[in-house]
Structure 1
Amino acid sequence: MVVEKLDTLQTVELAEGIEIRLRIAGPLVRAGAYLVDLVIRSAILTVISLAMAISGIAIGGKVAMGLFLLAWFLLDWFYPVIFEAGKRGATPGKRVAGLRVVQATGSPITLGQAVVRNFLRFIDGMPFFTYGIGLGSCLASRRFQRLGDLAAGTVVVYTKTAPEIIIAAPPPMQSVPISVGLTADETRALVLFRERAGLWSEGRRAEIGDHVSALSGASGTAGVNRLMSMAHWVQEKREGGT
């Protein structure tokens, strides 16, 4: 039985066919970041309340209370929005935990996305500010997205990703001539497959190779080896012609 970790490294394929890897943060580390932000906001509100208590003598108690409530509203609703829509994409709590908020494609989030994900935090916090709905959504989502994240199209990731161990591509043992005609782009793609194969895991190489099994006549590792040999033949032919 395989148990999935709460923090995972996931592959995201963009529309251009480019793959990026995001280390998605689980609910535990995100809860820790939230607590840090809660302490910071509480400290700010404490300072504001003291300032309003002192200034209330001059401006009146009702005015001071109104200003305090306005400050509480702005801090509670816009504190995370301002920081997450900024250059770092993270509140101070997330920065301490080494996290940031990004789009599902890995790009920085927009102001609109920051507003949506944080304004829906009220629903995620239900029932009775226990964050039961938000936690349930995180655990049910492959990318640990609460409802605000799902609506905004955002994910919370680690700012630093541990380097992935790449299995070296197997060197071709022999050259295999290509028996069918390929266009210049197809030939270039075949050569690039051999040159970049070392950047992919063995499973990813086999997955790509299976898409052109009609050319190699095989699938899996055997298909990869045959494509490598074909690419080797193309390169040898080029070098022989120069």
Structure 2
Amino acid sequence: MARRLDRINRLLDGVTRNRREIVTPEGVMLEVDIANHGERLVAFMVDFLFWLLATSLLFLVLGLTLLHGVTGSVTITIVLFLSFLLRNLYFIHFELQSQGATPGKRLVNLKVIDRSGGPLLPGAIVARNLTREVEIFLPLGLFFSVPTLAEGGFWMALSYFGWAAGLSALPFFNRDHLRAGDLIAGTMVISVQRRPLLAELAQAESRYVFSRKQLDAYGAFELQVLEELLRRPSSPDTHGMQQEVCGKICRKIGWPEPVPEAEALAFLKAFYTAERAHLEREQQFGRYRADKHEAPSTGR
């Protein structure tokens, strides 16, 4: 199944998304899509921006009230402590309350899960987020605090920067894109695309009627490709792909008249409904076709 979905992703996108099979403690096999590096970076930058805005607002309020007249060293200590506290509370709170999704992750449809398929425990969430301090914020804080012009300061700053860069690059060196926090906490970040139910895709369009010969042109694999395309969120790229696929189907089945661009989605939904019903009916009689290159098999 995972290999078939990889073929679909390669056909639609030209790339293969990393897919893993996880067996839950109850013995249920789940297939998940591993979040790629770009998605995780975008999610982190969005969360970092939200945290920065919240921190700036807090410091503005404190500066006008409690910190007024406090000495510089004390102010810096308070600022660093509150930054650490707010930063970790932000990630921990949202991942606890939103089942492993911060606002940034929700924006790009990502989610933190337990690698063994079990429930996402609070201890794992705390561990993976506290580890981020050692991965990124602690070495970067030390890097910016080193006087590089002093004797030996340059090499010390470089070592701190290398510390942060090395740990940040860890997801590029394992197949599940795990950072140090994921390795310690036993978690992973997956992509959870919002998909409509099959029943929503199978709404028939009565103005499009297909013959048995036309429906015999495709098999189960092509049907699944079409299903994945219809499930995709609406976007200019998706619309362009729908029109391209619509044209290919029309040429393949010999559709007698051109389908207007505005009707491409309706045509694809109607063809999906008819093709799915046709293949299910054929399978009931022992005739199964894996894809368009394979002749229908007959039952014994």
User: Is TM (by shorter chain) over 0.5?
Assistant: yes
Structure 2: 5+ residue stretches without partners: 1-6, 140-159, 197-222, 226-275, 291-296
Of 130, 153, 178, which residue of structure 2 is paired with 1:145? 178
Given residue 55 of structure 2, which amino acid in structure 1 is its aligned partner?
L
1:185-232 deviation per Cα after TM superposition (whole angstroms, max 9, x unaligned): xxxxxxxxxxxxx9xxx8xxxxxxxxxxxxxxxxxxxxxx9xx96xxx
Of 74, 99, 122, which residue of structure 1 is paired with 2:85? 74
**Pairing 1:36-185 to 2, within 5 Å after superposition:** 36-56=46-66, 60-61=70-71, 67-125=78-136, 127-128=160-161, 131-160=164-193, 165=224
Given residue 20 of structure 1, which amino acid in structure 2 is its aligned partner?
L
TM-score normalised according to structure 1 size = 0.59
- The residue that corresponds to 2:219 in the other structure is none
Given residue 142 of structure 1, which amino acid in structure 2 is its aligned partner?
R
- The alpha-carbon distance between structure 1 residues 15 and 33, as it changes in their structure 2 partners (threshold 3 A), is same
1: distance between equivalents of 2:176 and 2:194?
A: 16
After TM superposition, the structure 1 stretch with the greater mean CA deviation from structure 2, 145-154 or 6-15, is 6-15
Contact 2:24 2:117 in 1 (8 A): no
Contact 1:35 1:93 in 2 (8 A): yes
Shift of 1:34: 0.8
Shift of 1:42: 1.1
- The residue that corresponds to 2:36 in the other structure is 26
- The alpha-carbon distance between structure 1 residues 55 and 144, as it changes in their structure 2 partners (threshold 3 A), is same
Shift of 1:136: 3.1
1:143-179 deviation per Cα after TM superposition (whole angstroms, max 9, x unaligned): 11111101111011123266993997966869xxxxx
1: distance between equivalents of 2:171 and 2:163?
A: 14
Number of equivalences: 179
Identity over aligned pairs, percent: 25
Structure 1: 5+ residue stretches without partners: 175-197, 203-224, 230-242
Contact 1:85 1:111 in 2 (8 A): yes
2: distance between equivalents of 1:106 and 1:159?
A: 15
Contact 2:113 2:119 in 1 (8 A): yes
2: distance between equivalents of 1:44 and 1:121?
A: 19
- The alpha-carbon distance between structure 1 residues 38 and 57, as it changes in their structure 2 partners (threshold 3 A), is closer
1: distance between equivalents of 2:88 and 2:16?
A: 28
Given residue 108 of structure 2, which amino acid in structure 1 is its aligned partner?
A
Contact 2:24 2:118 in 1 (8 A): no
Shift of 1:116: 1.2
Partner of 1:160: helix, strand, or coil?
A: coil
Contact 1:89 1:101 in 2 (8 A): yes
Partner of 1:144: helix, strand, or coil?
A: coil
1: distance between equivalents of 2:161 and 2:127?
A: 21
1:109-133 deviation per Cα after TM superposition (whole angstroms, max 9, x unaligned): 2111011111212343365288533
1:15-70 deviation per Cα after TM superposition (whole angstroms, max 9, x unaligned): 54421011110121111111111111111121122112211476745676554333
- The alpha-carbon distance between structure 1 residues 173 and 68, as it changes in their structure 2 partners (threshold 3 A), is closer
Contact 1:56 1:64 in 2 (8 A): no
